[in-house]
Structure 1
Amino acid sequence: MKHVLPRRLRRSRDYGFLHSNAKKQLSLVQLVLNVMVKAVEPVIRPKFTCRRCGESMKHIAFGFLKPT
């Protein structure tokens, strides 16, 4: 229960330039403060090939099985 906020208390990141929809405002704040943030590099995933035909397979979803 350490990570649960008390009643009627909101997270500060839900407001202002930390809000998830405030990307333009965040970039303006970074420009004013002269802070350059590195671009995130995409993760390169390994390609899976079919055992029968050898063609590459498409990723539809990633999931995990629950241990029983």
Structure 2
Amino acid sequence: YIDSETKQTQIKTLPTLKFLWQILQHVIPKGFRRVRDYGLLHGGASKTLKKIQLCLIMAHKLDLSIIKPVARKKAQCLCRCCQQPMNFLGITRPFGYG
């Protein structure tokens, strides 16, 4: 291994089980993927990650109390025949589905 303080290669003797334990800590279980290979942790995404970090820093400095919340209406489905709002009662699934 390389000593982090002296940056020199060192030799370390370990018992067999301890050696295997330290090696197997770096093995990913079957079916798992390394997170750093995808998304914003991917090596090619460093510019995007830096932009997002900068935006978060700037957003933290903004005074968001001046922004008024927008009142949202619930979406309603209208009947095709009478144009009156329809009430949702439930979902019917075919027999044997899910």
Q: Which TM-score bucket, shorter chain as reference? A: 0.3 to 0.5
| Bigger RCO (CA 8 Å, 6+ sep) | 1
Per the normalisation by structure 2, the TM-score is 0.32
Q: Which has the higher helix share?
A: 2
Pair member with larger Rg: 2
Per the normalisation by structure 1, the TM-score is 0.44
